[in-house]
C-alpha cells in the first residue's frame, strides 16, 4: 500500500472496489439499511393498525405528523438505499465502462425523479385541503 503503515483500515480501502468509491458507499448503504429497518417496520405496523385502508383513513393518517414525517423519511431513505443497492449490482455485472456509466446515470435520474414524485404526492396529501 502506497499510504504506508500510518493509514487506517478505512484509509486503505478508499478508492478501491469495483466502483472505485471505497468504503463510503458501503457505509452509507449500511446506515440507510438500519434506518429502513425502523421505517419499513413502521410502515407495515401502521398499515396493520389502521382501522380501515380506505382513502379517507389514509389521508387522515398521512396528514398527521406521525404519519407524514416517517413517510417522507421512508421515501428519501428508501430511494437512496435502492439506488445504492442497484448500483452495486450494475457495478458487479456491467463490465463495459461506458455502459456502466450510462446505466448508473439513468438509475440516478430514475431514483431522484421517482423520489421527487413520491414526495410531491405526500406533500399534496399532507398540506392539501380536506375534502
Listed as own residue / partner, the contacts of 106-110 with beta carbons closer than 8 Å and 24 or more positions apart are 107/83, 108/83
Distances (CA, A) of 71 to 58, 65, 67, 116, 122: 12, 10, 6, 13, 8
Place of cell 456491467: 94
Binders of other proteins among residues 16 to 75 (CB under 8 A) are 16-18, 20, 30, 33-34, 37, 40-41, 44, 47-48, 53, 55, 58-59, 62, 71, 75
124 contributes a contact to other proteins by CB under 8 A: yes
**Residue 82 beta carbon to other proteins: minimum distance, rounded to whole angstroms:** 4
Query: Where on the chain is the footprint of other proteins (CB under 8 A)?
Result: 15-18, 20, 30, 33-34, 37, 40-41, 44, 47-48, 53, 55, 58-59, 62, 71, 75, 78-79, 82-83, 85-86, 89, 92-93, 95, 114, 117-118, 121-122, 124-125, 128, 131
Amino acid at each position: 500500500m502506497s499510504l504506508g503503515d500510518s493509514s487506517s483500515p478505512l484509509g486503505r480501502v478508499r478508492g478501491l472496489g469495483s466502483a472505485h468509491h471505497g468504503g463510503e458507499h458501503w457505509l452509507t448503504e449500511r446506515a440507510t439499511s438500519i434506518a429502513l429497518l425502523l421505517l419499513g417496520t413502521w410502515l407495515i405496523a401502521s398499515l396493520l393498525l389502521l382501522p380501515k385502508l380506505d382513502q379517507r383513513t389514509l389521508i387522515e393518517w398521512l396528514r398527521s405528523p406521525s404519519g407524514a414525517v416517517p413517510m417522507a423519511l421512508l421515501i428519501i431513505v428508501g430511494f437512496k438505499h435502492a439506488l445504492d443497492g442497484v448500483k452495486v449490482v450494475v457495478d458487479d455485472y456491467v463490465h463495459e465502462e461506458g455502459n456502466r456509466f450510462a446505466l448508473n446515470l439513468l438509475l440516478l435520474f430514475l431514483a431522484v425523479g421517482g423520489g421527487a414524485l413520491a414526495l410531491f404526492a405526500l406533500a399534496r396529501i399532507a398540506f392539501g385541503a380536506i375534502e
